[in-house]
Amino acid sequence: MRQDTNPELPVFRPDKQGMEQALGTLEAQVMDAVWDAEGEVCVEDVRQALEDQGKESAYTTIMTTMSRLHDKGLLTRRMEGRAYYYAPALSRRELGTSVTRRVIDALLGSFAEPAMSYFVEALSEDDPERLDTLSEMIEQRRARGQSDEES
């Protein structure tokens, strides 16, 4: 399933939820349909899956969206006869990790101190146990770094 773990996602929308933060609404719905299919799908398979969920779109709209997702590195495709068959290039988790890395890298590149400060503040307010988890992760990373230096 892995192709490129750094797909072309130029926008992050914090006011949206889930994959819509990195993709458009229809793109996120198409990706969900492809992931849910657990195998290769053609445009009609995705159109039907969306229709079954009450989200009707024209065949050509789905075709264009899937082609764009392929161009962005999110779908792989192969031609069989006159139809393309698509599969996810990344799992949901891999895409989530990629988006997270890009957002955090951008924040740390421009606003390192405020980003780190707010992250700690948000963790402690939301769930203080997560702050303990973060502390443990930092200690594990430091220990790994020291053992790398000693090698």
pLDDT one-digit tens code per residue, 8-53? 676 778 778 888 888 889 999 999 999 999 889 999 999 999 999 9
Task: Pull the structure tokens for residue 8.
Answer: 């072309």
> Cβ of 33: how many Cβ atoms within 10 Å?
21
Q: Which domains does the chain have, with CATH numbers?
A: 18-90 (1.10.10.10), 93-150 (no CATH)
Q: What angle in degrees, to the nearest 10, is found between the helix axes of 43-52 and 25-37?
A: 100
- pTM to 2 decimals? 0.74
For residues 133, 134, 137, 139, the Cα torsion angle rounded to the nearest 10 degrees is: -110
H-only helix segments in the chain: 25-37, 43-52, 59-71, 92-126, 128-150
